[in-house]
A and B are shown apart, each in its own frame.
Chain A
């Protein structure tokens, strides 16, 4: 049913730490791997080894340059590079669900995960139009809409060892920049992280109420603005004696300019 549930028992989602992400794309690759071999249609590639390769991905890492504004204290602040992983935010008010004409898109009442029933999807693409985040991609081989499932086939999978029962992207992240949990529980790991670090909604003005939270980069260290080499370049001796003293005097006697 493409009407949204009035509330969900759990709000499963991710915390993505923009301070910690190193932009290695390991989450992109593990996501592509898991979701090609498991739930639903595989994530296809077109012309994978040719001149113009494209493919379906559920998670992509952008990189941004952010230029802080100049202040009187810091007239030339350094720009920052910030890596930015982006996947479905499992919005509470998901616009992609309500536009679906067939009921293929739905949001689960039990845990809030937004999924696509691929047997009902006609591939009209309207849900991708409605998503402001670019979280949905129409698979070119299968003609059905693909999106992040929050690894619904891992997190409840009792055939996997306990430590593997989290989304592939979270499991693989070598920097620990991704966290998975229940935002409906105020004491959960993700809720506390988000509260402590001031987690933010992407495009709040779109009114989607995203579940996934992004932790903003921490303020950068301030280097004091002075010449760090200066102390080492001062003259070691003001009135040199010995060989250096003789050389100094001898060179001064040669006509020409000295410093």
Chain B
């Protein structure tokens, strides 16, 4: 799959932002007034910034509001609704904390649930794709949710929780890599089923339908990232999980070091997210004899 920068920025930043909003909704950290204000600003900048970035890859961003209508069948529609609901509820809860020093906790719990719901609906957009076997498994939402919570805990300054969640998210990310590697072969889709010619013999592409490239090849057959997959996985794993955990466990706490841990984590998650797209193979490539 083509690793579109707008979608990578969106899923990385929004995941982090909604993770932080989840913790703020749960009252972790227990802050009011100006401290609460700045925590909420960080959460909103990340969450809304990511959502805005996601509209850049649309052919017609001015019609994006129509995407709220099809929640009965579409995960993308559900994501839009969940995101707006989470942002509205958390704004009310935040206003209570910032302006009235009031903790309207039920509202906070609702906002936390909606924030996590947004991350879940995002992940289901990918997990539902039967056409991309590497994504089509329950581990995909597990990865998105644990990554969002780990990043959120890190931003919310919940050190113990952050260490636990980073280890968990790291383990699940590793699992998605290992399980994902064999997913295409296990899906049972190959050139023989794609063309229906398997009953005659072994099928290979003889001539493509067009001499140049096209939308399908640009969008679905991205091969550049795959050959560096192992190196990128190492970089992503070190930056996103190992380094932040080591900083939190071994070094005395300081805001500067926490910032290093956060930046390292974000860089690692962005690398892993780039790979999430670049490594994913769509079955349509089979029609071109490619993967």
Contact = CB atoms under 8 A, between A and B. Distances in A.
Interface of A: 1-3, 18, 25, 28, 52-57, 60-69, 77, 79-82, 84, 86, 95, 97-104, 120-126, 128-134, 137-140, 142-145, 200-207, 214, 216-217
B128 interface: yes
A180 to B, nearest CB: 20
B129 A130 contact: yes
7 contacts: A54-B215, A57-B209, A101-B74, A101-B80, A131-B284, A132-B189, A142-B59
Interface stretch (B140-148, B191-199, B236-244, B264-272): B191-199
A217 B200 contact: yes
A18 B59 CA distance: 36
Interface of B: 1, 57-61, 63-64, 66-70, 72-77, 80, 125, 128-132, 187-189, 191, 193-197, 199-210, 212-216, 219-220, 282-284, 287-288
A205 B188 contact: yes
A79 to B, nearest CB: 8
A2 B216 CA distance: 23
A95 B130 contact: yes
A202 B189 CA distance: 10
B206 A200 contact: no
Contacts of A200: 196
A129 B287 contact: no
A137 B205 CA distance: 21
A62 B205 contact: yes
Contacts of A77: 201
Nearest to A143: B59
B280 to A, nearest CB: 10
B60 A202 contact: no
Interface centre among B68, B75, B200, by most chain A C-beta atoms within 10 angstroms, is: B200
Contacts of B132: 129
Given A95-B130, A102-B70, A65 B287 contact: no
B204 A67 contact: yes
Given A54-B212, A62-B207, A120-B63, 19 more contacts: A2-B74, A18-B197, A25-B209, A62-B208, A64-B205, A102-B67, A120-B66, A124-B58, A124-B59, A124-B76, A125-B219, A129-B220, A130-B130, A138-B215, A202-B196, A203-B189, A205-B187, A205-B193, A206-B283
Contact of B189 (A53, A55, A205): A205
A28 B209 contact: yes
B204 A2 contact: no
A121 to B, nearest CB: 7
A140 B204 contact: no
Contacts of B212: 52-54
Contact of A66 (B76, B188, B202): B202
B70 A103 contact: yes
A64 B206 contact: yes
Closest 3 CB pairs of A and B: A123-B59, A143-B59, A60-B209
Contacts of B63: 102, 120-122
Nearest to A128: B219
B195 A202 contact: yes
Contact of A122 (B59, B196, B206): B59
Interface centre among B199, B216, B220 (most CB of A within 10 A): B216
A216 B196 contact: yes
